[in-house]
Amino acid sequence: MATLELTQLAEHLEPDEIEAVHRALRETGSAPLDEDEQAEPVLLDRAIDDDIFVDFADRLEANEASADVYLPSDFEDIIEVADYKIGSAHALLLVLESLREDFFVEDEDEEQEQAEVVDEEFESFDEDEDEPGGMFGDDEPGTEMKDEQLRHIWKQMHRGAKLAIRQGLCMFIRD
């Protein structure tokens, strides 16, 4: 199971690795890392299915935004330090916004309104739900659950990136 966690670099990296991160940031020309040493760590999710997360990470990779650690600093490219791929939480937010439609993520108010409309429109189709392959016969069993898990990961990553920037913490993705 994969874990999403907001914390300081010192929680998972050695001092020489942290210094290498600072050097790499200087080389990219970004502002120095400004971690809040007083901020409390936040566990976003500790039970993300590995197979589902691989699918999600593949989409990030296709957008050159897949990393092990996201820093609250603003820079463009993924940097590699020690055995870690390090990205910017700012850049991650941009990629997540571009992927929003892929995961059918909408604003919660719009989602709630649409769910109510769909419920009313499709009440007469309830008897068709027992048929194999879903209501329209084209969904594989479990596809809806996988899509929901991907949406959940998107939301947690989006929330985590925002919190990382706001609280001055780093977002770690651990297996």
- The confidence score (pLDDT) of residue 122 equals 39
172: which strand partners?
Answer: 5, 69
Per-residue model confidence as pLDDT tens digits over 129-169? 444 444 444 455 578 888 899 999 999 999 999 999 999 99
- The confidence score (pLDDT) of residue 68 equals 97
Greater pLDDT, 67 or 34? 67
Section 110-123 average pLDDT: 43
- Is 38 within 8 Å of 136 (Cβ atoms)? no
User: Tokens 């892929």 sit at which residue?
Assistant: 102
- The confidence score (pLDDT) of residue 171 equals 97
Instruction: Work out the percent of the chain whose per-residue pLDDT is above 70.
Output: 78
- The confidence score (pLDDT) of residue 145 equals 87
Q: Determine the Cα–Cα distance for residues 92 and 94; give it in Å rounded to an integer.
A: 5
- The confidence score (pLDDT) of residue 37 equals 83
- The confidence score (pLDDT) of residue 110 equals 44
Cα atoms found within 13 Å of the Cα of residue 147, Cβ hemisphere only: 12
- The confidence score (pLDDT) of residue 105 equals 65
- φ/ψ bin of 172: left (φ > 0), alpha (ψ from -120 to 50), beta (otherwise): beta
Per-residue model confidence as pLDDT tens digits over 1-26? 999 999 999 999 999 999 999 999 99
Q: Determine the Cα–Cα distance for residues 7 and 35; give it in Å rounded to an integer.
A: 9
Alpha carbon 157 to its chain centroid, in Å, reads 2
- Name the band, by pLDDT with cuts 50, 70 and 90, for residue 108: low
- The values of phi and psi at residue 66, to 5°, are -85, 125
Q: Determine the Cα–Cα distance for residues 31 and 106; give it in Å rounded to an integer.
A: 32
Per-residue model confidence as pLDDT tens digits over 58-76? 999 999 999 999 999 999 9
152: which strand partners?
Answer: none
- The confidence score (pLDDT) of residue 106 equals 66
Q: Determine the Cα–Cα distance for residues 156 and 139; give it in Å rounded to an integer.
A: 26
